[in-house]
């Protein structure tokens, strides 16, 4: 940044009492939960500030407006009326033009993202190397959806590969490649994801059920699950966004089945996908266990993998345990303190505390409206504020991996009880919720 530019934002920071920096931090969850992306939240949903915090808008008169006007002029955006410190029609048009050029949502107001790209506030990192969790998974899924290569896929860990992917995205958008997610990069990424959708407010699913690149929603997530189960897992998992990775997997699947590889999920592709589903864990010829169903008869599936994605999964359901017990769930190994995500939206119906001689240790039950419940054991601890009765979104953090109770190595013991009944093998459900 040139000396003049730096002086601009230093004075702006003084004007605003460093408000932009705080604001950017406070709006992290929100900026990440852009429309159309997954509904993961780090905590039970409560009321939140508005989606894009506005720093300056039409009608304002201030030194901040003048600073913004000088920066707009400096980057060559025509500004009718010149630098006068008044946010009128000319400034609104100039801001809109700046937003159009930079791939930001064209609102005509200066929000944190616009201010960051304009150089009015410094690019505060919202997510950077070392971060973990649902917000990182969501960032990774959005990068993948817009066609950025991400080695390792959406694994919930912000490591070297994610930093490289963020840098690649930034470079592609003319943003200084920092490898960290700031409000400006986040806003441009959100707009890029939004641009995947057809320009017209077309329904997410065509009336004939055809899904095409740009489609979104639960029908897309279902197709992604079918693709994964057929061995063509999109790298972003079942994120409900029909982006580049899903398109290439649909094409690969179509080629493998002798269908025209057009990347569109039409009725022929859908039939082939249904036919390609493995039957070993569903209804088998020997008349064994049907796939678990929800209260309305639809098949049960997980909206979120219960941990940051891992391919280190083993089916240990039914294995013998001490005292003649059988293993009622599966064990997923993970480091102590790894966040545990709600696999579905639901209500925390029980929270057990560890005690001497306890088998389950700190153990939590998440119950869906149809009575289906998920039992999680051996937790190290629970997130602050989580109580019995808390409603949680799919992907919310509900605990941390540990080894409380009868557990040697830290791991998550997970059971699933469809519609409140006996435990069924969670392995196929968990396996289909991760791309490996
Ligand atoms: Zn276990």
Q: How far is the CA of 123 from the centre of ligand 1 (A)?
A: 44
Q: How far apart are CA 308 and CA 134, in angstroms?
A: 8
User: Where does 27-173 have alpha helices with state H?
Assistant: 28-32, 63-74, 89-102, 112-118, 134-145, 160-172
Measure the N-to-C terminal CA separation of the chain; round to a whole number of Å: 43
Report pLDDT for 302: 92
pLDDT over 50 (residue 8): no
Q: How far is the CA of 67 from the centre of ligand 1 (A)?
A: 60
Model confidence at 209, in pLDDT bands (50, 70, 90)?
A: confident
8 Å CB contact between 361 and 379: yes
Report pLDDT for 290: 58
Q: How far apart are CA 374 and CA 292, in angstroms?
A: 13
Higher pLDDT, 67 or 234: 67
Q: What percent of the chain has pLDDT over 90?
A: 48
Mean pLDDT of 329-355: 93
Phi, then psi, of 355 in degrees rounded to 5: -150, 165
Higher pLDDT, 63 or 125: 63
Q: What percent of the chain has pLDDT over 70?
A: 83
pLDDT over 90 (residue 250): yes
pLDDT over 90 (residue 411): yes
Comparing 193-202, 253-262, 316-325, 409-418, the range with the smallest average pLDDT is 193-202
pLDDT over 70 (residue 24): no
Report pLDDT for 101: 93
Model confidence at 134, in pLDDT bands (50, 70, 90)?
A: confident
pLDDT over 50 (residue 207): yes
Q: How far apart are CA 292 and CA 298, in angstroms?
A: 9
Higher pLDDT, 280 or 176: 176
Comparing 59-63, 291-295, 343-347, 406-410, the range with the smallest average pLDDT is 291-295
Report pLDDT for 420: 87
Report pLDDT for 167: 97
Report pLDDT for 156: 86
Sign of CA dihedral 40, 44, 50, 54: negative
Q: How far is the CA of 381 from the centre of ligand 1 (A)?
A: 17
Higher pLDDT, 31 or 408: 408
Q: How far is the CA of 329 from the centre of ligand 1 (A)?
A: 6
Q: How far is the CA of 181 from the centre of ligand 1 (A)?
A: 37
* Reported pTM: 0.45
pLDDT over 60 (residue 49): no
Q: How far is the CA of 284 from the centre of ligand 1 (A)?
A: 26
Give the chain's domains with CATH numbers.
3-118 (1.10.101.10), 125-194 (1.10.101.10), 218-275 (1.10.101), 322-431 (2.70.70.10)
Q: Kind and range of the H or E element at 398?
A: strand 397-401
Report pLDDT for 10: 41
Mean pLDDT of 423-433: 92
Q: How far is the CA of 418 from the centre of ligand 1 (A)?
A: 18
Q: How far apart are CA 320 and CA 342, in angstroms?
A: 27
Residue ranges near ligand 1 (ion) with Cβ within 5 Å:
331, 413
Q: How far is the CA of 44 from the centre of ligand 1 (A)?
A: 27
Q: How far is the CA of 325 from the centre of ligand 1 (A)?
A: 11
pLDDT over 80 (residue 251): yes
Model confidence at 6, in pLDDT bands (50, 70, 90)?
A: very low
Q: How far is the CA of 302 from the centre of ligand 1 (A)?
A: 19
DSSP 121: S
Model confidence pLDDT, tens digit, residues 149-200? 888 788 889 999 999 999 999 999 999 999 999 999 999 998 888 887 654 4
DSSP 156: S
Model confidence pLDDT, tens digit, residues 95-115? 999 999 999 989 999 999 999
Higher pLDDT, 373 or 207: 373
Q: How far is the CA of 55 from the centre of ligand 1 (A)?
A: 51
Higher pLDDT, 342 or 43: 342
The three-state secondary structure class of 414 is strand
Q: How far is the CA of 134 from the centre of ligand 1 (A)?
A: 24
Report pLDDT for 52: 67
Mean pLDDT of 397-426: 93
Q: How far is the CA of 316 from the centre of ligand 1 (A)?
A: 8
User: Where does 75-159 have alpha helices with state H?
Assistant: 89-102, 112-118, 134-145
Comparing 49-58, 256-265, 318-327, 405-414, the range with the smallest average pLDDT is 49-58
Q: How far is the CA of 236 from the centre of ligand 1 (A)?
A: 28
Q: How far is the CA of 25 from the centre of ligand 1 (A)?
A: 38
Q: How far is the CA of 326 from the centre of ligand 1 (A)?
A: 10
């Amino acid at each position: 940044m040139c000396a003049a530019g730096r002086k601009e934002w230093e004075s702006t920071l003084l004007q605003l009492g460093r408000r932009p920096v705080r604001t950017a931090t406070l709006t992290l969850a929100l900026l990440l939960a852009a429309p159309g992306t997954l509904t993961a939240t780090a905590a039970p949903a409560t009321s939140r500030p508005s989606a894009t915090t506005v720093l300056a808008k039409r009608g304002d008169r201030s030194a901040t407006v003048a600073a913004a006007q000088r920066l707009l002029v400096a980057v060559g955006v025509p500004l009718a009326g010149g630098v006068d410190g008044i946010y009128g029609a000319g400034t609104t048009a100039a801001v809109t033009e700046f937003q159009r050029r930079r791939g930001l949502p064209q609102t005509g107001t200066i929000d944190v993202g616009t201010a960051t790209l304009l150089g009015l506030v410094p690019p505060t990192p919202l997510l950077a190397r070392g971060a973990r969790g649902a917000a990182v998974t969501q960032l990774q899924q959005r990068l993948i959806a817009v066609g950025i290569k991400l080695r390792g896929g959406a694994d919930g860990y912000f490591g070297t590969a994610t930093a490289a992917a963020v840098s690649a995205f930034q470079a592609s958008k003319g943003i200084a490649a920092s490898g960290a997610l700031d409000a400006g990069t986040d806003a441009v990424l959100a707009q890029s994801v939004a641009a995947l959708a057809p320009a017209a407010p077309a329904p997410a699913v065509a009336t004939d059920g055809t899904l095409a690149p740009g489609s979104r929603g639960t029908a897309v997530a279902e197709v992604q699950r079918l693709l994964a189960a057929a061995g063509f897992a999109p790298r972003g998992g079942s994120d409900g966004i029909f982006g580049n990775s899903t398109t290439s997997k649909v094409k690969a699947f179509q080629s493998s089945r002798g269908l025209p590889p057009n990347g569109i999920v039409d009725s022929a592709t859908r039939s082939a996908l249904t036919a390609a589903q493995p039957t070993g864990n569903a209804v088998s010829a020997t008349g064994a266990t049907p796939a678990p169903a929800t209260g309305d008869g639809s098949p049960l599936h997980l909206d979120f993998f219960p941990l940051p994605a891992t391919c280190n999964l083993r089916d240990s359901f039914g294995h013998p345990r001490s005292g003649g017990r059988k293993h009622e769930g599966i064990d997923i190994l993970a480091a102590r303190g790894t966040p545990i995500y709600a696999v579905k939206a639901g209500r925390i119906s029980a929270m057990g505390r560890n005690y001497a001689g306890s088998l389950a240790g700190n153990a939590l039950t998440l119950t869906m409206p149809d009575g289906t419940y998920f039992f999680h054991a051996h937790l190290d601890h629970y997130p602050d504020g989580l109580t019995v009765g808390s409603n949680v979104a799919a992907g919310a953090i509900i605990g941390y991996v540990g080894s409380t109770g009868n557990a040697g190595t830290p791991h998550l013991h997970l059971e699933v009880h469809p519609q409140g009944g006996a435990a069924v093998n969670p392995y196929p459900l968990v396996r289909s919720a991760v791309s490996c």
